[in-house]
Structure 1
């Protein structure tokens, strides 16, 4: 199940992951905590168990290898689901590829691997028809060795580009702000720069 970031008023915001994504990953999941109540005959998630809204997958316990296509629900609606997914640490999660969003920068570095499918993914409607090309692309985030292997499988099967080793990037909170760059409008900085021995009196990084 997914609720697109840019939902259209008056239309269903239920969109199902197309089967080619699962075919490319070539894995079996233990749990899907975000399955819909209706249109289930058009689902293609290869999972042993699932939760619907009635079981509230966000508060229910998770175990095993998880497939997560969360309800996006507003600007940061995906964040509580990402928090639980990363804490669980075993599965694959589908998100909007909003790479300039704060939540993407906060959570994507915690993934073992990320796959960006080639082109726009056309999702399945609850009536089984295919939607049009969406406004945004998607990204698949993997946690754990099995999730990372699933994304490597998907790349090998032509779904898209897989990046791995993402956990080598430090969390945003560990970054220190860069020192101010000297300009002609700041005499104090220019005084320091003038004594640095650099051409033009500007400080440079080593």
Structure 2
């Protein structure tokens, strides 16, 4: 959801559609930004907001849909994800942002899903089309291969010489 939209700040609770996980076909070792263990993200271990996943050690294949809240709210999460280097991250596709050029372009692969992602809310309702698209960032062979095979949208391998 674009930061200029009126409902920004109301909540960071916007969940990835289950269809994305069906298409990706992976079970992740960790979801560091989980709404809870009973959520549909296929992850063996989760950190919730109360756990403060940003401060915890990450291991294995990670799924990350970080809180987008506020200007550059996803940046600390994206930095940690890139340093971890194994998994899939869902972030806003703000390709003109400085943070995108500092972190997202260091990815091994990028996948731009077709259309706007219709996130789910905690009450089970599905949000309308947000003001911005998203990008799935792949790091590691397993994640990159799953994104390539997912048929969710435009998959781009990036050169290994990225900074």
Q: TM-score scaled to structure 1, two decimals?
A: 0.73
RMSD of equivalent CA atoms: 1.7
The residue number in structure 2 matching 1:51 is 47
Aligned partner of 1:24 in structure 2 is 23
Question: Which SS does the other structure have where 1:151 is aligned?
Answer: helix
Partner-residue secondary structure (3-state), 1:167: coil
- TM-score norm. by structure 2 comes to 0.91
| C-alpha contact 2:2 2:130 (8 A) present in aligned 1 | no
Q: Deviation of residue 129 (structure 1)?
A: 0.9
After TM superposition, give the deviation of residue 10 of structure 1 in Å: 7.5
Structure 2: gaps of 5 or more residues: none
Q: Secondary structure at the match of 1:92?
A: strand
> How many residues in Structure 1 have an aligned counterpart in Structure 2?
161
Pair 1:132 & 2:131 matched: no
Q: Whose radius of gyration is greater, 1 or 2?
A: 1
Contact kept in structure 2, 1:18 and 1:44, CA below 8 Å: no
- Distance in 1 separating the partners of 2:78 and 2:148: 21
Q: Aligned pair in 2 of structure 1 residues 127, 67: CA closer, same or farther (>3 Å)?
A: same
Cα deviation, residue 164, structure 1: 0.6
With a CA cutoff of 8 Å and minimum separation of 6, indicate the structure with the bigger relative contact order: 2
Q: Secondary structure at the match of 2:16?
A: coil
Q: Distance in 2 between matches of 1:19 and 1:106?
A: 29
For the Cα contact (< 8 Å) 2:9–2:69, is it kept in 1? no
Question: How is 1:13-162 mapped onto 2 (pairs within 5 angstroms)?
Answer: 13-36=12-35, 43-155=39-151, 159-162=152-155
The yes-or-no answer on 1:167 pairing with 2:163 is no
